[in-house]
Amino acid sequence: MTALDLTDAVRRPFTGRRVRFGDVSLQVVAGAAAAATTVLVGLITWKVIDGARPAISRYGLHFIWRIAWNPVVGREVYGAGSFLFGTAITSFFALLLAAPLAMGIALFLSELAPRGFRAPVTALVETLAAVPSVVIGLWGILVLGPALRTHIEGWLHSIFGFIPLFGDPSPAGASIFTAVIVLTIMILPIVSSISRELFLGVPHELKEGALALGTTRWEMVRGVVFPYARGGIAAALILGLGRAMGEAIAVTQVIGGGVFIHANLFGGGDTLASKIAASYQGSTTNLSTASLVYLGLILLVFSLLANVTAQWIVRRVARKHGITRGGHA
């Protein structure tokens, strides 16, 4: 196998007689890059904790669930409760919408689409990932929000208004729902392109074997493709979740703001990231700045958790499928 030969070639200089200059410098440069990343993450974490310290010492952990944000000088109270709720609800619903869509796109592009069709559509889907979030946000303000407000939110409210989720629509579509749709669009390309790669990676023998046993295409997908790619899909979804949680600008532009916890998807709200983006500039007091940094710290912890969970799932699945994968590689 070529993989083996390469490994040997790389290993030889270090175990062998002479040390090559190129290899050493590669070692040094790559090592320095890795070390710099680690140091950078450490410094960022330290700086965030340091910046949040006044708020941490003032409010402690109670800050995390308190629902309050009053920046008026002399009556300041800060808490992350409503923003945690906003972050949870927007990313949950965005993921709920994006997951089936992304699976559909990925399946279509890897299994179903005619050959000549795949490359251009794949490229288009991936281009979506390159659209700057501020552009999506502007489109959200000017086009999507008002359109959702007039065509979707009002309609859903008039029919399903008795369900608290579909409450009174807020003006101009500046709502959690608009933020959910914007986030869905933003995480779709990541989840779908990773899933497509995973589906393409399913061994042909397995797929053809299933088809040869007389399964329909859907049965093949359900019985072979999904189980095989399960861990990867979960990881892709969690990466999408991380993106949805951290997105600030586009959400700030469409979510409407407000320190509320309510079930109404069509009302306004704020997420951790959007609150930071909206209020950090020109924050009036040291305590409000520290509290915003504290929000950042909470966000950092949750993003780290999401990433670690994704890696853990991938590793667990890889171990479970160890034999099959090993044989494949």
> x/- site string to other proteins, residues 207 to 226, per CB under 8 A?
--------------------
Q: Is 294 in the site for other proteins (CB under 8 A)?
A: no
Give phi and psi for 70, each to the nearest 5.
-120, 105
Residues 103-162 contacting other proteins, CB under 8 A = 122, 126, 129-130, 132, 141-142, 146
User: Which region among 44-52, 63-71, 153-161, 297-305 touches other proteins (by CB under 8 A)?
Assistant: 63-71
Going residue by residue from 226 to 265, which x/- string records binding to other proteins, judged by CB under 8 A?
Answer: ------x-------------------xx--xxxx------
Please state the closest distance from residue 130 (CB atom) to other proteins, in A.
Answer: 5
| By the rule CB under 8 A, 90 interacts with other proteins | no
Segment lying near other proteins (by CB under 8 A), choices 36-44, 64-72, 83-91, 217-225: 64-72
Query: 68 or 263: whose CB is closer to other proteins?
Result: 68
44 binds other proteins (CB under 8 A): no
Least distance in Å: CB of 270 to other proteins? Answer: 8
Count of residues that interact with other proteins, criterion CB under 8 A:
52
Burial tier of 118 (Cβ tally within 10 Å: 0-12, 13-18, 19+)? middle
Candidates 197, 223, 230, 261: give the one binding other proteins (CB under 8 A).
197
Among the candidate windows 42-50, 187-195, 206-214, 302-310, which touches other proteins by CB under 8 A?
187-195
Residue 51 binds other proteins, judged by CB under 8 A: no
Residues binding other proteins (CB under 8 A): 68-75, 122, 126, 129-130, 132, 141-142, 146, 170-172, 174-175, 189-190, 193-194, 196-198, 200-202, 232, 252-253, 256-259, 268, 278-286, 314, 318, 325, 328
